[in-house]
Structure 1
Amino acid sequence: MTDNENSLERAILGEVPLFSAADVAEESGISLDETRRLWRALGFPEHGNERAFTSADVGAVATVVDAIDAGLFDLDLAVNLTRGVGQTMARLADWEVGALVHRVEELEAGDQATGTRVGSALRMIEDLSEPFESLLIYAWRRHLAAAVVRMQAMSASEEDLHTTRVSVGFADIVSFTALSNEISREKVGDLVELFESRCADVIATQRGRVIKSLGDSVLFVNDDPIAAYDTAEGIINVIGRDSRMPDVRVGLASGSVIMRLGDVFGPPVNMAARLTAVARRNRIIIDAATAALLPVDQFETRRLPARPVRGFGLVEPVAVRRH
């Protein structure tokens, strides 16, 4: 690691690494294997006997151990929670750095230049750390409250709190691979960012949730099938009907899904994804289950010829539009 990289890392961590994994285990009161398991779950490689850990790392492991000792959860659940935090924070960190790197370039090109990009980055870290950490806690509490409300609603009608009935949507950019070979990497990045942000805005407006973004596609869920249709239509309006954006296809499927670790699993998820291959450009295709849930006085549905769908055999997709 270069001196510049060391200075950035230490500025972010706020201290110098002093402990090995064995030291962390001894200080925290758990075995070395358990310590390494938690570290891997957070998303980092092992460091052998290297002194790569700080007192904050020791404190974090000790906090988990205290919670286990208090009976709040066992080690397996602690590892699952740690993995969720690690994956979420890894993506957030990459997103943050990618967004701020342009600001660092602007600072170095302007009156506030420090002479090096590292200098500007260090200054941004110093100025941004405290307010951004406060924002993280605020956003976590907001999303935790929303998740608890959803869980309460599920418990009123479902015996299994991990299973619920939803409408699943899958929005997919048409011919993305060919498109990405025709434009620069920077423009591909800008396109993906704009696609994801526009989709996320529409999904939030219709009270849905983004489950995952895969670059050229977005998976979302809505509790209400009408809202799911409105979400799909909204995505087509802001993506496919914008002449500066590529065409898009959306598939909708409804039914029971399993919700685990921030993801959803089940036949409706797979069906929604498969239906995008059937949909015409800037059109919505739904399955029979979703069609049965849409009010006939508001929607016109038309069964399409049966065709083989991978994993489902012969399926009759349904075209849909509002009256």
Structure 2
Amino acid sequence: MTSSDDPAGDGGVIGALEAHLLGARPALTQHDVAARAGVPVATANELWHLLGFAHVPDDEVAFTDADVRALELTNDLIALGVLSQERQDGLVRTWGRSFARLADWQVALLASVAEEMGADPTEGLLAVSDEVMPRVEELQSYVWRRHLLSAAARLLAERSSGPSAMLAVCFVDIVGYTSRSRTLSDRELVGWLESFESTVLGLTVDRGGRIIKNIGDELLIVADSADALAEVALELTRRGADPDDPFPAVRAGIAYGEVVTRLGDVFGPVVNIAARLTSVARPSSVLVDLGAYEALSGRADDDTDEHPDHDHAGGYRFRRLRRVSVKGYSRLKVWALQPA
């Protein structure tokens, strides 16, 4: 049961967090925010929704000066020509998705830390945030700037090719995820998945690649070099096949070719083919498409019988499979990849 002094029924913790994180308790309606920022209410609402926040009634006092400042900054970027309507929508959506996921993880982390300290999770959140959040915010800014530098270097290297680039694309999928996840507690499942992602991340960045995103129990990674992803995928499947290694069994599909890059994501037939190959790969195996085969072997496949089904080239062993038909692609040329 709640009271007028504690409408959220949480002992005032959320209100205190609002004041701490946003700089003040809410004192403005959406009309107040839009008027003070000098933007139409419809524009303010659109940005709010793109960020992933639910609709707020017109007369609800839910905003602070921080929201006014955010709208003013957005207006500045539009006036400077940085944010066109298309760019604005894409950028704000990306911010909303990325920060929502990051915030969920960080709040769960802080609540866990508070519990370990013997504090009530809700009250402990407030205590931990005072000490931790300024450091987290500073560290986030550092990581962001470092990634900006990496992204700028990639952009300059690919500038001549426009919005597309020649990339190797790989999906790595955990085998038996559903059955294994049923045997784990929530905490064990999170730890298992984080260990999986950390291992893939370490191998990937060491070879100049990067993780684009995770899709459930599957990771999408890319690299400029097909060799880099071949090394990653073969090492992951090797570890997953080792009964003494806690790393889960995985399967992978690699495709190579022209990929469209946008807002940190990748699109196009090459991405689709890599995903399709992963879906038909056997446990602990790596399948590659024609583009990846040619890049890895250093030879072209000309549909002749010049190369045997078991083919050694470029430091790898290739086993030609029968043509594979998957959704959207009929009779793909596919090879199973193994170390030489």
Partner of 2:111: 101
Following the alignment from structure 2 to structure 1, what is the Cα–Cα distance between the partners of residues 236 and 15?
A: 43
TM-score (norm 1): 0.91
The answer as to 2:43 corresponding to 1:34 is yes
Partner of 1:288: 290
Partner of 1:171: 172
Instruction: Render the CA deviation track for 1:221-243: whole Å, top value 9, x for unaligned.
Output: 01001111111123224444354
* SS at 1:277 equivalent: helix
C-alpha displacement at 1:304, in angstroms?
0.7
Instruction: Render the CA deviation track for 1:185-229: whole Å, top value 9, x for unaligned.
Output: 333222222211211111111111111112311000010011111
Any residues of structure 2 matched to 1:140-151 within 5 Å, and which? 140-151=144-155
* SS at 1:72 equivalent: coil
* SS at 2:208 equivalent: coil
Following the alignment from structure 2 to structure 1, what is the Cα–Cα distance between the partners of residues 123 and 189?
A: 29
* Structure 2: gaps spanning 5 or more residues: 1-7, 298-312
Partner of 1:24: 33
Partner of 2:320: 303
Q: Quick check: 252-261 or 75-84, which moved more? A: 75-84
Amino acid at match of 1:135: L
* Structure 1: gaps spanning 5 or more residues: none
Instruction: Render the CA deviation track for 1:144-170: whole Å, top value 9, x for unaligned.
Output: 1111111111113x1x2x111101000
Any residues of structure 2 matched to 1:198-277 within 5 Å, and which? 198-241=199-242, 243-277=245-279
Following the alignment from structure 1 to structure 2, what is the Cα–Cα distance between the partners of residues 22 and 59?
A: 14
* SS at 1:17 equivalent: coil
Following the alignment from structure 1 to structure 2, what is the Cα–Cα distance between the partners of residues 186 and 138?
A: 29
C-alpha displacement at 1:269, in angstroms?
1.0
Q: 1:71 to 1:308 in 2, by over 3 A?
A: closer
* Number of positions where the alignment pairs a residue of Structure 1 with one of Structure 2: 314
Amino acid at match of 2:292: T
Following the alignment from structure 2 to structure 1, what is the Cα–Cα distance between the partners of residues 38 and 92?
A: 18
* SS at 1:272 equivalent: helix
* SS at 2:338 equivalent: strand
The answer as to 2:78 corresponding to 1:68 is yes
Partner of 1:317: 334
The answer as to 2:59 corresponding to 1:55 is no
C-alpha displacement at 1:87, in angstroms?
1.4
Amino acid at match of 2:36: E
Q: 1:76 to 1:100 in 2, by over 3 A?
A: same
Following the alignment from structure 1 to structure 2, what is the Cα–Cα distance between the partners of residues 183 and 135?
A: 32
Q: 1:291 to 1:180 in 2, by over 3 A?
A: same
Q: 1:231 to 1:147 in 2, by over 3 A?
A: same
The answer as to 2:102 corresponding to 1:85 is no
Amino acid at match of 1:59: R
Q: 1:297 to 1:204 in 2, by over 3 A?
A: closer
1:299–1:321 CA contact under 8 A, matched in 2: yes
1:168–1:272 CA contact under 8 A, matched in 2: yes
2:15 to 6, 26, 31: 6
The answer as to 2:134 corresponding to 1:130 is yes
TM-score (norm 2): 0.87
1:258–1:264 CA contact under 8 A, matched in 2: yes
